[in-house]
Structure 1
Amino acid sequence: MTTRTVAAAGTVAELVQRRWGDRRTGLRSRGTVLTYHDVAAGAAARAALLVELLPRGAEPHLGVLLDNTPEYPLWLGAAALAGAAVAGINPTRRGAELARDIVHTECRVLVTQRAYLPLLEGLALPDVRVLVTDTDAYGALLAPYEGAKPGEAVVRPVGPASRMLLYFTSGSTGAPKAAICSQGRLAVAGASLVTQLGVRRDDVHYICMPMFHGNAVIADWAPALVAGAGVALRERFSASGFLPDVREFGATYFTYVGRAVQYLLATPERPDDRAHGLRLGFGTEAGAVDTARFAERFGVRLVEGYGSSEGGAAIQRTPDTPRGATGRAAPGDALAVVDAETGEDCAPARFSEAGVLLNGAAAIGELVNKGRNPFEGYWRNPEAEAERRRAGWYWTGDLFYRDEAGFLYFAGRTDDRLRVDSENLAAAVIENILARWEDATGAAVYAVPDPVAGDLVMAALAMREGREFVPARFERFLRAQEDLGTKMPPRFVRVVRALPTTATNKIHRASLRRDAFVCDDPVWWRPTPTSGYEPLTPTSLTGLRTTYESQARAELIWR
């Protein structure tokens, strides 16, 4: 792998200042082209405005409720220069939840756009100054500060420990937590990815993941800023617009999370799928099957990485990483896979000659970092912080297994673990198998309560255009999978038009678990573990309810 050494920077503010006088193209979007000097100057002007707007004694926090417009990276740079922190506000949140995110992070300034003003109507946002970027009033407000230079206006002294980001967890399983990221950690993360991925000055980073999420800022914007690479913005991710954007902007690098790769693979194939300059994608949760499909179709290598959103653990992929593995622990990390109940290390993974995991129940556990780690805590959430730091370790909340050579394999989230007939299963392991079925574009696996005890396996399948769910075809596919354990086949299959996702393209399993098999979509089921699939009819559903009621477990499904 090509590596590049970059001059170290202690803060993001220093990285922005380095771009002063750089006349190369630094930022592009539809209708906008800015040099890096323009970017640094724009950030300096906004930093000066921010210093004027923030009340004395208030936390130097601003909320940013924007699509991926040029204003987003300009305000990131402004916050860095001023010694302030940006709370990325998720535009898919609504009402009290949206207000809670803004108030909880103590934002006294909120930067937004006209399209999102209806979301703010009627919300209790005391003492919050709202700036609307696509208005004449905003331009007039900025005008007096157009001559500002980087470093002239600060609200607090800037150093590596200065808070830079307050970015929320996805919120797919509960109220989102605002993780803290300092300027020093963001600068180090950007430099690390430049070296690891061989980012060059002549690269163009295409940012299509939402910038309120850590992935776009930490893995896309920050390494571009460190290397002096260009940045191209897409307001919102679009599978159909992906390749046209890549060609228009000359993009060479992008990041992804969740199901974005599946959405791209679901687009109609074209003869010119390889006619572009894209060379690398970096992200998580694409899976080995879709990674291979993406490389075959588009000629682009995807590097699957792992980094805890909060920064407590990282895994680096090396050239000798086996197929299906994520990589080894990053230097300095003392990672272990442990049984969450006992804290004991799990057994090393054993595989068949075909690469099938043979001892999943004993090998799969939670990934923890037993050594020093850069986790900087959650904003005003000591309970969640303590949960992450139990027994002096950092608990990632993610399931892994580890082979004898120390390579780690992702097995899902702790919340996505199923217990079937007293055996622990990981949803991600089953999903990776179902991803091979060519009739479907995506699969989500989750637990539904067993009528007696434990869980049953349920899967939601999004079918390819023009394909229907044919039970016999699905059953033949399942029988052909050598690594599908006897307790892994889904007992229920929900056929959906599209998998429900969070704003960051991660599967919203909470909604799937909540609906279980009582939903408006077609559901197929196997009345016994060995029978074939048949439609879940109203009569069958009534019989199931009677069974659950006889075990006093009906309230787990019919709430």
Structure 2
Amino acid sequence: MSQTTQNDLIGIADVAAKIPGLIRKVPNLLNGLKQAYLRTPTTPAGLGLAFEKTAKRNPHGIALLFEDQKYTYQDLNSWANQIGHFYLSMGARRGDVIAVIIENRPELIATVIALAKIGVTVALVNTSQVGKVLAHSINLVKPIAVITGEECRAAVDDVRSELLIATDRFFWVADQDTQNNPGKAPKGYINLAEKADQFPKFNTPTTHSVQGKDGLFYIYTSGTTGLPKAVVFSNSRWTLAYGTYGHVLNLNENDVMYCTLPLYHATGMVVCWCGVIAGGATLAIRRKYSTSGFWSDVQKFDASAIGYVGELCRYLMDAPPSDLDHSHRVRKMIGNGMRPNIWGKFKERFGVEEILELYASSEGNVGFSNIFNFDNTVGFSPTPYAIIEFDKEKNEAVHDRKGYCKKVKKGEVGLLVGKITSRSPFDGYTDPEKNKSVIMKDVFKKGDSYFITGDLVRDIGFRHAQFVDRLGDTFRWKGENVSTTEVENMVSEYDKIAEAVVYGVEIPETNGRAGMAAITLADGAELDEQDLSQMLTEFKKHLPAYAVPVFLRVQKQVETTGTFKYQKNKLKEQAYDPEKTDERLLVLLPGATAYCDINPEIYASIQAYKYRF
């Protein structure tokens, strides 16, 4: 065990030393835990109900800031009610699904609240999706309608003929302040702002009839079969997050949470926002993250808290020092993926006192939160879980002589699994077969069931853990989960490429893993200079920017196992090092418009972090 790991181990004495700092939070924590754990599947619950209560408690408090727009809780609640009443008049009912594809802006927030209040499940479509992936994501959840922002309309138009939605159920919102100017809808779309404005502002009659078991969101996650999976996020799960993460954050009416994370992901939409609603605080959002604009926005909105993912923190650390680094009142932050090697440096440089690192997944049933404010940990978990021994070479759990799994010892790394109980259920995917593949039975005794997270973590004691790595065919880059199979399918469509094997590789000083594709060319084909730019153009046309491979390896043939599985472990180990292979290696350098060959000089510069990927 390394010295660093040894120092990170937590015991009772360490926890006892943190208790004085927790005392001021206790009333709020107890209130949150009461709401989180007294819920039942049939209890009225969820975002709509919680927001309505906060609007009643703090009607004139500022609920939302965006650019130069400002909305009180009363304003936002009234706006959502109009949208809700409109969809009720259209026949939308509890249990229906509506797909929403709008970038981070007030129209998205108001729409989500509205649909939550009437019990409609919101399919939070990734706004960077295009083509086949977009069509698949929308059709997968069988929506009765789609709501698109003008900024995403071109992508929807491209696949409209493939969407299984009635032609009169395509709604549109202008890319502007639609409360003051609803704009004019393009042909084939209904102007949602214009229609909703004709409806009453009082609360919809449905809010209290929405139950914990009802779906709140569909959140998309990459899967190993190639296309996104839709994860059911129930109102009960939202209430659990609200009662735990929301109250641990301990915001109040004077706080402002600045969130630049995409709101189609749970970290932004659920974790950051539920803390705001719990405290009657303000949510300040930006359409897309900007390093240069981050701290000036924080100052503009007078933010006291920020939401993060690890990549965002690295970008901020890479930026030149500025007077803005400390001219703000941010003292706490919540998110996931903070790298241990910058944790302390980040706190010191930007004056942050509390990093509420957490662990959760859209589909999972186990969560951790750093309520004790230790460094380098995803925190403490009150939910039942286990960290079991795992053989990475065989890709399977280690069993004892009786056939049961074995828990790792303190300080060791293993596979995280979450026990499935009535209080920590597994809501699952839309695909029943996928559900079966992530549930492990008879783990420690006959009849028990655990959700397989696919993540390796270290047990550091006192129910705390450190995130170590991800298993399987999904890796994380730029704060997004990348499906290797999806990228393999798209890369293989390029005329000269016969086959592609995609995997993630580490670049020093970056978060997650960058995409690398080992490609085999069609018979007789060669990659010339034109191909190096044309390939990139094609990849960008069909893949989100974060999924476009950073590295390519040109292979003569693909190595497979006896069961025809790709030999990815060897490829990952050799990565993009020209000393470890005589095959052609290519890289897409930051800002480049084409791939280029990796020579020793470029490799050394990548390793020395001279390129900012």
TM-score (norm 1): 0.71
Please state how far the C-alpha of 1:346 moved relative to its aligned partner.
Answer: 4.6
Note the 1:279-358 alignment, pairs <5 A: 279-300=331-352, 301-319=354-372, 321=374, 323-328=375-380, 330-339=381-390, 340-343=396-399, 344-350=405-411
Give the distance between the partners of 1:111 and 1:417, measured in 2 at CA.
29
1:368 to 408, 414, 417: 417
Match of 1:459 in 2: none
Structure 2: runs of 5+ lacking an equivalent: 1-21, 36-43, 175-182, 185-190, 391-395, 400-404, 442-448, 476-502, 519-539, 556-575, 586-613
Say whether the 8 Å CA contact 2:303–2:330 is kept in structure 1.
yes
1:104 to 140, 151, 158: 140
Could you say what secondary structure the match of 1:148 adopts? Answer: coil
**Partner residue of 2:194?**
140
Structure 2 distance, partners of 1:253, 1:306, is 19
CA distance, structure 1, for counterparts of residue 334 and residue 281 of structure 2 = 16
- Confirm whether residue 188 of structure 1 aligns to residue 228 of structure 2: no
Secondary structure of the residue aligned to 1:393 is: strand
Question: Aligned ranges for residues 98-497 of structure 1 at < 5 Å?
Answer: 98-123=134-159, 124-128=162-166, 129-134=169-174, 135-136=183-184, 137-145=191-199, 147-152=200-205, 157-170=209-222, 174-300=226-352, 301-319=354-372, 321=374, 323-328=375-380, 330-339=381-390, 340-343=396-399, 344-350=405-411, 363-372=412-421, 374-391=424-441, 392-403=449-460, 406-415=463-472, 434-435=508-509, 444=513
Structure 1 residues 341, 221: closer, same or farther in 2, change over 3 A?
Answer: same
Change in Cα spacing, 1:318 to 1:302, as seen in structure 2 (3 Å) is: closer
* Matched position secondary structure for 2:262: coil
Distance 1:232 1:210, change over 3 A: same
1:438-473 CA-partner distances (Å, limit 9, x unpaired) = xxx667478999xxxxxxxxxxxxxxxxxxxxxxxx
Q: Equivalent of 1:89, from 120, 125, 141?
A: 125
Shift of 1:33: 0.8
Partners of 1:534 and 1:31 lie apart in 2 by 48
Alignment partner, residue 548 of structure 1: none
What one-letter code is carried by the residue in structure 2 that aligns with 1:166?
Answer: Y
Shift of 1:60: 1.2
Residue 593 of structure 2 corresponds to none
Q: Secondary structure at the residue paired with 1:395?
A: strand
Letter in 2 for 1:365: G
Distance 1:512 1:398, change over 3 A: farther
> Hey, what's the Cα distance between the residues in 2 that align with 1:85 and 1:273?
40
* Secondary structure of the corresponding residue to residue 511 of structure 1: coil
The reply on whether 1:10 has 2:61 as its aligned counterpart is no
Are the structure 2 counterparts of residues 367 and 23 from structure 1 closer, same or farther at C-alpha, using a change threshold of 3 Å? same
Residue 602 (structure 2) pairs with residue 541 (structure 1): no
**Per-residue deviation, 1:404:** 5.6
3-state SS of 1:245 partner: helix
Q: Does 1:40 align with 2:80?
A: no
For residues 467 and 155 of structure 2, what CA distance do their matches in structure 1 show? 37
SS in 1 for 2:75: helix
**1:412 counterpart SS class:** strand
1:50 and 2:111 equivalent? Answer: no
Q: 1:61 touches 1:105 (CA, 8 Å); kept in 2? A: yes
Aligned residue type for 1:383: E
Partner Cα distance (1:517, 1:81) in 2 = 53
Alpha-carbon distance in structure 1 between the residues aligned to 2:357 and 2:267: 13
- The number of residue pairs the alignment matches comes to 443
Distance 1:122 1:341, change over 3 A: same
Greater Cα offset, 376-385 or 89-98: 376-385
Q: Distance in 2 between matches of 1:122 and 1:274?
A: 46
Separation of aligned partners in 1, 2:225 and 2:325: 36
Displacement of 1:274? 0.5
Give per-residue Cα distances to partners, 1:304-330, cap 9 Å, x unaligned: 211132241112325384x433333x2
CA spacing shift, 1:443–1:43, aligned 2, 3 Å? closer
- Helix, strand or coil: the match of 2:430? coil
Q: Deviations over 1:343-401 (max 9, x none)?
A: 52254255xxxxxxxxxxxx432101235263443342111111222212111110112
Q: 1:280 to 1:193 in 2, by over 3 A?
A: same
Question: Which moves more between the two structures, 211-220 or 368-377?
Answer: 368-377
**Structure 1 unpaired stretches of 5+:** 351-362, 419-426, 436-440, 450-499, 519-532, 544-559
Structure 2: which amino acid aligns with 1:130? F
Q: CA deviation at 1:516?
A: 4.2
Per the alignment, do residues 243 and 403 of structure 1 end up closer, same or farther by CA in structure 2, a change over 3 Å counting? closer
Residue number among 77, 80, 83 corresponding to 2:116 in the alignment: 80
> What's the CA shift for 1:12?
2.2
Q: Which stretch of the first structure deviates more once superposed, 298-307 or 402-411?
A: 402-411
Is this contact kept in 2: 1:168–1:178, CA < 8 A? yes
Cα distance in 1 for residues equivalent to 2:326 and 2:414: 40
Offset at residue 105 of structure 1 (A): 1.1
CA contact (8 A) 2:410 2:460 kept: yes
**How far, CA to CA, are the matches of 1:314 and 1:379 in structure 2?**
18
Deviation at residue 264 of structure 1 after TM alignment: 1.5
Q: CA RMSD in A?
A: 3.5
Aligned to 2:549: 511
Deviation, structure 1 residue 59: 5.0
Taking the aligned partners of 2:315 and 2:427, their CA distance within structure 1 comes to 33
Query: Quick one: distance in 2 between partners of 1:504 and 1:216?
Result: 19
Q: Is the 8 A contact 1:348 1:403 kept in 2?
A: no
The equivalent residue for 1:423 is: none
- Residues 108 and 288 of structure 1: CA distance in aligned 2, closer, same or farther (over 3 Å): same
- CA deviation vs aligned residue, 1:191-216 (integer Å, no higher than 9, x gap): 21233222222211112101111111
CA change 1:226–1:311 in 2 (3 A) is farther
**Structure-2 separation of matches of 1:342 and 1:13:** 44
How many angstroms apart in 1 are the aligned matches of 2:86 and 2:255? 32
Cα deviation for residue 335 of structure 1 reads 2.6
Counterpart CA distance in 1 for 2:329 and 2:311 is 23
Corresponding letter in the other structure for 1:304: E
2:164 alignment partner AA: P
CA-CA distance at 1:272 after TM superposition: 3.1
In 2, the alpha carbon distance for the partners of 1:257 and 1:170 equals 18
- Deviations 1:118-175 (Å, cap 9, x if unpaired)? 1012411232422211134433211211x23213357x94122221111111469832
SS in 2 for 1:48: helix
- Other structure's SS at 1:97 match: helix
- Change over 3 Å in CA distance of 1:541–1:139 after alignment to 2: closer
